Amino acid sequence: MMRLKGMKAVITGGSRGIGRAIAVAFAREGADVAVTARALQSLADTVAEVEALGRRAVPMQWDVRDAASASERLVAARDSLGGLDIVINNAGVLRDPDLSPVDNWDYVLDTNLRGVYFICQAAGELLGESGGGVIVNIASDYGYRAAPTPYGISKWGVIGLTRGLGKELAPKGVRLNAIAPGPVATEMSNWHPGDPLENARLPLGRLTRPDEIASIAVFLSCDESSAVIGESIVVNTGNS
């Protein structure tokens, strides 16, 4: 049985890696998706995979650093899909080697935390008005390590935001949770297709696959997790 049959979802950062895997997993479970990226053309492969599964995919250009556009973009996605049930805050960055430390702080925090905050606020209001829904944030296990880097601080903030706002949104019928991946086989982790998954530093001996993160996103988006509120599920092959 399809666990997300007939549902409509927005997935930010859907062009590759975890976002792309979530879009495909949602399509397999019966959902139509709007996938976003800063460059519209980068979404072509994700759209093709979703449509090959018989589901609808709406590509959208969206830089989540533009916090003022969060509500407008979500409304546009809802109107294009014919409804909105799920919002996945996946868009994220690690660093830009061409930027100064100060500019990197703004680049990472504006993308990973400020953008997530305002999308959560807009999605909570929009979903609450329509009777409820689900928000899933993609955090990181770095958020639990007190890592003194813009990335670590941003993900620590996402975990805190999820816990606090999750309690506020629950009475409105909106469930907010997060996933905190460890090292995942994506380009952000310097992994490329064809590279081995094996990694001797990790207890399980390999990197997490994007589809393993996607399966948790499906769980958090369906009725099986109806009593899970404000939690961040760590998926990191035992990394600590």
Class of domain 8-235 as given by CATH: alpha beta
Contact 21, 179 (CB under 8 A): no
Q: What is the pLDDT of residue 203?
A: 85
Catalytic hit among 107, 142, 144, 151: 151
CA–CA distance, 115 with 142 (Å, rounded to integer): 18
Q: What is the pLDDT of residue 34?
A: 98
**Per-domain residue ranges for the chain?**
8-235
Helices (H), the chain: 17-28, 44-52, 70-81, 101-109, 115-129, 150-169, 210-221
CA–CA distance, 17 with 211 (Å, rounded to integer): 9
Its pTM stands at 0.96
Q: What is the pLDDT of residue 45?
A: 97
Structure tokens at 157: 């903030």
Q: What is the pLDDT of residue 103?
A: 97
Per-residue pLDDT of the chain (240 residues; tens, 9 = 90+): 899 999 999 999 999 999 999 999 999 999 999 999 999 999 999 999 999 999 999 999 999 999 999 999 999 999 999 999 999 999 999 999 999 999 999 999 999 999 999 999 999 999 999 999 999 999 999 999 888 999 999 999 999 999 999 999 999 999 999 999 999 988 887 777 777 788 878 888 888 999 999 999 999 999 999 999 999 999 998 887
Q: Is 151 a catalytic residue?
A: yes
Q: What is the pLDDT of residue 205?
A: 87
